[in-house]
Amino acid sequence: MGDDYPAVWVHRHHHGRILFAVLGMLLIGVVALLLLEAGAFAFEKIGFTPLEFAVILFLTFLGSAVDIPLYSVKSIVPMVEVQEVRAFWVTYRVPHRVLRQVSTIVAVNLGGALIPSGVSIYLLATHSESILLDAGVGVVVTSILVHLIARRVPGVGIVTPALLPPLFAATVALVLVPGSPAIVAYVSGTFGTLIGADLTNLRHADNSGARMESIGGAGTFDGVFLTGIVAVILAALI
């Protein structure tokens, strides 16, 4: 009798893990569908068809893995190394600080910087010139606000809170163009995050100690990509 309990417990635990895995996959699928619907809604607001949105989305995620090198900088950064010392058949691990020269490659991410920038430039080029001034003001204000909240995380790069940049862009767009804020919201969110988070912090690239500083990549890829979309949605809902 006592040997039956472990078998029953293992059996239930196994099915519980399968159930949680299935529920987790369903939840991820639902969230993905909601994001796709939200993205399609946002791109429809700024003048793209569902097919064009699908192409842009595919190229963006494909391009997120492509970093185009621009130049490199060298820096001396402190690191912790562990040295093994053996005495009386016992091995001791002794940590000590050393200075190492690190070469940091500054690159631009295809999916996180170039494609969203290309979409923004296309929107500005295909609409009336009157929107240029509003978009320019929106980009400047959003860049300043994003720069104030951006933080450098060692080993990751520049990161920003998820909802604040699109909220900044949407609010600025509503103030500047209350009647049709969608395009200004997208352009302000995209360029504002790139400039405020990445470009204005490039001067610290030689102190990062990272192998690569990617404009629009790493910690700001989701920020740049999602900020434009979320800003349009917020502008439509506020």
Q: Are residues 23 and 97 in the same domain?
A: no
| Residue 26 burial by Cβ neighbours in a 10 Å radius (0-12, 13-18, 19+) | exposed
Domain span at 136: 6-72+103-237
Q: Which residue has the higher pLDDT, 36 or 198?
A: 198
Question: What is the rounded distance in angstroms from the CA atom of residue 59 to the CA atom of residue 95?
Answer: 45
12 lies in the same domain as 88: no
End-to-end CA distance of the chain: 65
> For 194-238, what is each residue's pLDDT tens digit?
999 888 888 776 666 667 778 887 655 566 777 877 788 777 766
Same-domain check for residues 218 and 140: yes
Q: Which of 41-55, 103-117, 124-138 has the lowest mean pLDDT?
A: 41-55
From 5-14, 94-103, 168-177, the region with the lowest mean pLDDT: 5-14
Domain membership flag for residue 120: yes
Give phi and psi for 211, each to the nearest 5: -75, -30
How far, in Å, are 110, 112, 187 from residue 118 at the CA level? 10, 11, 10
- Whether residue 56 lies inside any domain: the answer is yes
Are 10 and 32 part of one and the same domain?
yes
Is there a domain that residue 150 lies in? Answer: yes
pLDDT tens digits for 112-143?
889 999 999 998 998 877 889 999 999 999 99
The more confidently predicted of residues 39 and 165 is 165
- 219 and 107 in one domain? yes
- Alpha-helical segments (H) within the chain: 4-45, 50-63, 115-125, 130-149, 164-176, 182-193, 221-237
In this structure, the answer to whether residues 90 and 145 fall within a common structural domain is no
In angstroms, the CA 229 to CA 193 distance is: 12
Question: Exposure string (b/e) for 30-43, b if CB count within 10 Å is 16 or more?
Answer: eeeeeeeeebbebb
211: left (phi over 0), alpha (psi -120 to 50) or beta: alpha
Measure the CA–CA gap between 109 and 107, rounded to whole angstroms: 7
The per-residue DSSP string of 42-93 comes to HHHHTT--HHHHHHHHHHHHHHTT-EEEEEEEEEEEEEEEEEEEEETTEEEE
Residue 11: per-residue pLDDT: 47
What is the percent of the chain where pLDDT is above 90?
A: 17
Residue 84 CB contacts under 8 Å (≥ 6 apart), including other chains: 91, 92, 93, 94
User: Same domain, yes or no, for 174 and 114?
Assistant: yes
The sheet carrying 212-215 orders its strands as 67-87, 90-109, 212-215
Does residue 127 lie in a domain region? yes
| Cα–Cα distance, 24 to 21 (Å, whole number) | 5
Say if 1 falls within a structural domain.
no
Identify the residue with better confidence: 58 or 145. 145
Q: How many domains does the chain have?
A: 2
Average pLDDT in the chain: 78
* Most confident among 92-96, 137-141, 151-155 (mean pLDDT): 137-141
Q: Residue holding tokens 């399968």? A: 18
Residues 197 and 89 in one domain: no
Whole-number pLDDT of residue 137: 94
Q: Are residues 94 and 196 in the same domain?
A: no
Residue 46 has pLDDT above 60, yes or no: yes
Same domain, 154 and 179: yes
Could you tell me if residue 84 is inside a domain?
yes
With respect to residue 110, please indicate whether it lies within any of the assigned structural domains. Answer: yes
**pLDDT of 4 over the 60 cut:** no
195 Cβ partners below 8 Å, 6+ apart? Answer: 139, 143, 146, 147
3-class DSSP state of 125:
helix
**What single-letter DSSP state applies at residue 222?**
H
- The pair of structure tokens assigned to 179 is 């009647």
Q: Tell me what pLDDT residue 221 has.
A: 57
Classify residue 116: in a domain, yes or no: yes
Q: Are residues 94 and 138 in the same domain?
A: no
Same domain, 118 and 181: yes
- How confident is the model over 49-69, as a mean pLDDT? 86
